[in-house]
Amino acid sequence: MENVTYSSLEKKILTYAPFDIPKLRRAYEYAKNYHKDQKRASGEPYIIHPLNIAYILANMRADMDTICAAILHDVVEDTESTLDEIEKKFNKTIRDLVDGVTKMTKLDLSSKKELSALNIRRIIVSLARDPRIIIIKLVDRLHNMRTLEYKSPKKQQKKALETLEIYVPLAYYIGASKIKDELENIAFRYLKPSLYGDINKQREELKRETKDILEATKKQIDALLKKNNIKAKFEIRYKDNYSIYKKLLTHIRFEMIHDMMSIKVLVKNIRDCYLALMLIHKEFTPINNRFKDYIAKPKTNMYRSIHTTVFGPENRLIQFQIRTFDMERVAIYGLTSYWFKYKNNARLEMQKDLENNFQFFKSIKELDSTILDNIEFVSRIKKELFSSNIYVYTTSGEIIELPNGATVIDFAYKIHTDVGNSMVAAIVNDEAVSLDYVLENQDRVRIITDETAYVPKEEWLDKVVTTTARNKIMDFIKDNNEN
């Protein structure tokens, strides 16, 4: 991997923020001076690391405060520099970003100590206040993972596991799939090198076998779309190694993974997405239960696309992912795509969208407002946000994100307090289930309510896993006992 120089970073930023170059130079000189006697594990000058982080962010067209904070992110922790000095020489925003990243570096979700739990709580809540802190730290972790070869095997394993448990979920929550996928695959390579190698060998063999088939299919669909006045860009993709590994864990055979091969179809507008879908389905037979419309109903991290799997040439299963160019930017970069779209107002738009549309942000706010004990707060964050989650549907098709082990009671309270308080029955996938039924991925749930029923009971507390449901049940019981 070729290292970035200051010259290449400046050249990149000149393409979109030429007026900010003086501030960039000051940040670089400041960091270079403080890091002058430091080396990385590779033996390179330490300044190489922040320069690489800044360059990755510049590819996302990050604002200059974010770029400068990335360059300065380690000076307070590793040198004699202070936050007050950074604020004086730059501005308060850069100080706050550096402070947030520095604190996040010390994040240890395994700690049980009260003081540590308090710090973790402050960090997690601050992430929700300015998502740029998450973004800088994710890119910091990405570059550290890219250079993990210089660490000892023990540290490699520790960093890889930490990456999968903390940083991959964070990348998913803000929709940064490009960062998430790379972090997953690097971590997987260090945690299970033999298995990684076996899967990669099978994947490469599949690519050799199907390259010509996919190219021919792409040309066939391209000609069909052009005939119908739809201009499109195509990209052939194969499922990455870690995603294959997760599928294999569910006892699906390698050759039966339906989205192993995909052709991405990028078009100008939503109308062309659905026209392209119709034309593809006329050309190839679709698998009905492998159709997902994430344009009509986006994922909880705002991912939008149409997914359909068809029987292609030689009966090969091929997935088509159809979306607009704007949706593609969001799919790759998530919240960071706002730098492309909104430029100077990107941070405000990120924040507004977080508050209105991202379920993980709402969960952080709920936990922060309802749990007083800091150790309990950290425990619930680990269980509800940093563990494997499931995604279930309302009868209208809305996607609801819940922690593993959630029941229909958790689901009801996630919808609304009144729904939970008046729930008398539940239907899952058109079948009646008990209220302690544990939901599974992609279940479709309907809650039956009766406003006249005295419903929530104390035993419900043993049947829920979410803090929201637990608190709402306790509030109901308390209010009715007082009456």
State the burial class of residue 190 (Cβ atoms within 10 Å of its Cβ: 0-12, 13-18, 19+): buried
Sort strands 317-324 and 261-267 into parallel, antiparallel or unpaired.
parallel
Residue 17 has pLDDT above 80, yes or no: yes
Above 90 in pLDDT, residue 72?
A: yes
Quick one: average pLDDT of 432-447?
88
pTM of the model as a whole: 0.76
Q: End-to-end CA distance of the chain, in Å? A: 68
453 three-class SS: coil
Report which of 358, 409, 347 is spatially closest to residue 385, judged by C-alpha positions.
358
pLDDT tens-digit series, residues 300-347: 778 899 999 999 998 899 999 999 999 999 899 887 887 877 766 777
The whole-number pLDDT of residue 117 equals 63
State residue 467's pLDDT score: 82
Distance of alpha carbon 11 from its chain centroid, rounded? 29
Give me 189's structure tokens: 């390579």
Q: What are residue 445's phi and psi, to 5 degrees?
A: -120, 135
- Cα-based torsion angle of the residue sequence 298, 303, 306, 311 in order, rounded to the nearest 10 degrees: -130
- What are the tokens at 235? 């990209």
Q: Which of 305, 333, 349 is nearest to 174 (CA)?
A: 333
| Sequence-separated (6 or more) residues with CB below 8 Å from residue 98 | 69, 72, 73, 75, 76, 83, 86
Tell me which DSSP letter residue 19 carries. Answer: G
* pLDDT at residue 2, as a whole number: 62
List, for residues 289-307, the tens digit of each pLDDT value: 889 999 998 887 788 999 9
The confidence band for 363, taking pLDDT boundaries of 50, 70 and 90, is confident
**Cα(474)–Cα(234) distance, integer angstroms:** 53
Domains, the chain, ordered by start: 6-105+132-173 (1.10.3210.10), 193-334 (3.30.460.10), 388-482 (3.10.20.30)
Q: Is the pLDDT of residue 29 over 70?
A: yes
- In DSSP terms, 305 is beta-bridged to none
User: Mean pLDDT across the chain, nearest whole number?
Assistant: 86
265 forms beta bridges with: 234, 322
Identify the residue whose tokens are 């006697």.
37
Amino acid letter at 146?
A: R
pLDDT band at 385 (very low <50, low <70, confident <90, very high): low
Among candidates 331, 177, 178, 322, which has minimal Cα distance to 264? 322
29, 44, 77, 114: the catalytic one is: 77
Quote the percentage of the chain above a pLDDT of 90: 47
The mean pLDDT of 52-57, rounded to a whole number, is 95
Catalytic residue among 78, 85, 326, 368: 78
Q: How confident is the model at residue 404 (pLDDT cuts 50, 70, 90)?
A: confident
Beta-sheet pairing, 285-286 with 306-311: antiparallel
**99 catalytic residue (yes or no):** no
pLDDT at 106: 64
pLDDT tens string 98-145:
988 887 776 655 555 555 566 666 666 766 678 888 889 899 999 999
* Catalytic residue list contains 77: yes
Per residue in 206-253, pLDDT (tens digit) is 999 999 999 999 999 999 999 999 999 999 999 999 999 988 887 788
Residue 359 pLDDT grade (very low, low, confident, very high; cuts 50, 70, 90): low
- 3-class state of residue 257 by DSSP: coil
Residue 483: what pLDDT? 55
pLDDT for residue 1 is more than 60? no
CB 40: neighbour CB atoms within 10 A? 15
pLDDT at residue number 59: 92
User: What percent of the chain shows pLDDT beyond 70?
Assistant: 90
